[in-house]
Structure 1
Amino acid sequence: MGTATIAPERPPRPRRRPPAKRRRTVRNNLTAYGFLCAALFCFAMFAWWPIVREVILSFQQTNLVDDPTWVGLDNFRTVMDDPAFGQAWKNTIVFTLLALLCGYVVPFAVAIVLNELRHARGYLRFVVYLPVMLPPIVSVLLFRWFYDPGPGLFNQILDSVGLPALAWLDSTDTALISLVIVSTWMNLGSGVLIYLAALQNIPGELYEAAELDGAGIFKRILHVTIPQTRLILLLMMMLQIVATMQVFIEPYMLTGGGPENATITVAYLMYQYAFVYGGNYGAGSALGLMLMIVLLAVAAVQLRLTRDEKR
């Protein structure tokens, strides 16, 4: 008796999309790619091309009108031979360190306090974020009046408590820290909101367990809050360093780099080369390239630390 063979089943043929649906899919994809190309074009024109242009200019001597001439490393030598070069880097590094102490720690502490409040939380968040909504130039001009050696608010406060007035912006001892105070106040709200978002994602059970173990508020912050927000802390540290090392508005509007170059920064020295010292765009670009390399190194270290924390 022979055995019957069963023919293998053919896989079902895929259904062909109707022409109308296929055209709609292609049209949607083209729309998405169109928006993507527009974004890439904006990035290329206003972010990537200026970086490429800066690298090219750093090896040229040009006034952006006549034909440029290639000068090799002469621009870098010119910048490094400037007596203000070392002072600018020193002020920038000191400003960054002071800004980390104030502009990095203070927003985190304020966020912890706001996160613990039960009443008027929304109002206080608005008050803290209000300086961010002001144009930076308005904030700087406001603090110029605060620092005025005559009717300035800060000296009036010192006089009311019997302390001598300070030459906030006119003394080499207080000028740089005065700029740090302005920068901290201007950027406080953004950091507080980011920290608040991170704090509200911490499970409440961790704090309850810490309280059952007898941990006080400082131990809860040390053993629960900081470990749970360490990635955000590392990210904010990188953003803080990158932002503060490019400080320009504060010295430009308040001190002009003085007194005695006590507040001149790398970004402000770049501005002087390009727009004050006869339009030496090559030297300004060379200094900007140095700053970019330093910031890239800082970002690489921070990204490496962040990657290690994720493991």
Structure 2
Amino acid sequence: MASPALLVFTLFMFIPLALTFWYSLQRYSGFGRMRFIGLDNYAAIINDATFWTASLNTLLYTALTVPIGIVCGLSAALLLNRWMPARGLFRALFYVPVVISGVASGIIFLRLFDPIVGILNQMLTTIGLPAIDWQGNGTWALVSIILVSTWQGIGFGMVVYLAALQGIPREVYEAGTVDGAVGWKRFIHITWPLLRPTTFFLVVYSIIGSFQVFDVVYVLTRGGPGTSTTFLVQYAYDQGFNQRRQGYAAAIGVIIYLVVLVFTVLQWRFSKSRDDA
């Protein structure tokens, strides 16, 4: 008899995944009958300029948010791993954005980025700098999404790095001090090498999350202006629900799934090899 967990996993994972693959082989608008067209949707994707623009935007977003998030999360962990007054409060404050939904975060920053009444532009004009059209300029729209995503992700990286830092034996640092590893030398020669497995996990985890980003983009820019902030998931949503090309959107979803699967397998193999070692 199948376990309840397997039944739930089949219902919410295997069946939707199989249906997505099946829909990707159909011409379907969401209404009426489906028509089997084989790999035509995938062939159309190859010649779809907007798809490649969305792919490049996703890669650029990933290339910027992942290292920024890693550096910010590690910096916060190093800072809050030391004793300081109200350290627990600061840890909690850093983690709060993680538990706030992407939609809520987007709404909050939509007000902050408002070109007229937003507090960020008011601060810029107060110190004599010109106001920024956060949603009307493609470059600044991308910057705004990166800022929100970084704000959301710092807390998770901080918690993971804190757990890794607190797992480093004190004796290792004591031996390093005897050998002259103090200050930055201690970080470079002791802390950082021991944090590399954690960093690899966070890099892969962040890349997977970057390829799936949707809610913040949808709330802040809807992919605009133009296609400057159109990412893969947002483009699939637009094709499926606005253009009524359900089969085409499913094909894009399959491609996203395969990309994420590659990084997931990479993470699994690395974790397995580390455990075996």
In the alignment, the residues of structure 1 paired with residue 83 and residue 143 of structure 2 have an alpha-carbon distance, to the nearest angstrom, of: 31
Counterpart of 1:172, as a letter, is G
Partner of 2:93: 127
Measured on the aligned residues, the alpha-carbon RMSD in Å equals 1.8
User: Could you say which residue in structure 2 is the equivalent of 1:291?
Assistant: 256
Partner of 1:56: 22
Aligned counterparts of 2:137 and 2:182: Cα–Cα separation in 1: 43
The DSSP-based 3-state class of the residue aligned with 1:173 is helix
Give, as a single letter, the amino acid of the residue that structure 2 aligns with 1:78.
A
1:176 positional shift: 1.0
Q: In the TM superposition, what is the alpha-carbon distance from 1:46 to its structure 2 partner?
A: 1.0
Amino acid at match of 2:175: A
Rg bigger for which structure?
A: 1
TM-score of the pair, normalised by structure 1: 0.83
Partner of residue 240 from structure 2, selected from 268, 274, 278: 274
Q: Percent identity?
A: 34
Q: Give the CA deviation at 1:301.
A: 3.4
| Superposed displacement of residue 149, structure 1 | 1.0
Please say if residues 105 and 216 of structure 2, whose CA atoms lie closer than 8 Å, have aligned partners that are also in contact.
no
Q: CA deviation at 1:308?
A: 5.0
Deviates more, 1:209-218 or 1:171-180: 209-218
Matched to 1:211, the amino acid is T
Give, in whole Å, the separation in 2 of the partners of 1:85 and 1:296: 20
What pairs with 1:1-311 in structure 2 (closer than 5 Å)? 37-277=3-243, 279-309=244-274, 311=277
Q: Per-residue displacement from partner, 1:224-279 (whole Å, max 9, x unpaired)? A: 222222222111111100011111112211111111210000001100111000x2
Q: Residue 101 of structure 1: CA displacement?
A: 1.9
Contact 2:58 2:211 survives alignment (8 Å): yes
Instruction: Give yes or no for contact 1:98–1:177 (8 Å, CA) kept in 2.
Output: no
What is the CA distance between 1:305 and its match in structure 2?
4.2
The 8 Å contact of residues 95 and 177 in structure 1, kept in 2 or not, is answered as no
- Aligned pairs, number: 276
Query: In terms of mean alpha carbon deviation, does 289-298 or 238-247 score higher?
Result: 289-298
Native 8 Å contact 2:95 2:156 kept in 1: yes
Q: Tell me the TM-score normalized by structure 2.
A: 0.93
Question: Contact 1:175–1:263 (CA<8 Å) still a contact in 2?
Answer: yes
SS in 1 for 2:88: helix
**Counterparts of 1:110 and 1:148 in 2: how far apart (Å)?**
28
Distance, in Å, in 1 between the alignment partners of 2:11 and 2:252 is 22
Q: What residue ranges of structure 1 are gaps of 5+ in the alignment?
A: 1-32
Question: Letter of the aligned partner of 1:287 in structure 2?
Answer: I
The residue identity in structure 2 corresponding to 1:250 is V
Deviation string, structure 1 residues 191-214 (Cα, Å, up to 9, x no partner) = 211211111111112222223333
Q: Which has the higher contact order (CA 8 A, sep 6+)?
A: 2
In the TM superposition, residue 309 of structure 1 has moved relative to its aligned partner by 4.8
Q: Deviations over 1:25-53 (max 9, x none)?
A: xxxxxxxx8xx711111111112211111
Deviation at 1:306, TM superposition (A): 4.3
Unpaired runs of 5+ in structure 2? none
CA distance in 1, matches of 2:234, 2:156: 24
Equivalent residue of 2:18, what SS?
Answer: helix
Residue type matched to 1:54 in 2? Answer: T
Amino acid at match of 2:46: M
Shift of 1:296: 1.8
Conservation of the 8 A alpha-carbon contact between 1:130 and 1:189: yes
Q: Are the equivalent residues in 2 in contact too, given 1:108–1:191 (CA < 8 A)?
A: yes
**Distance across 1 between alignment mates of 2:135 and 2:259:** 28
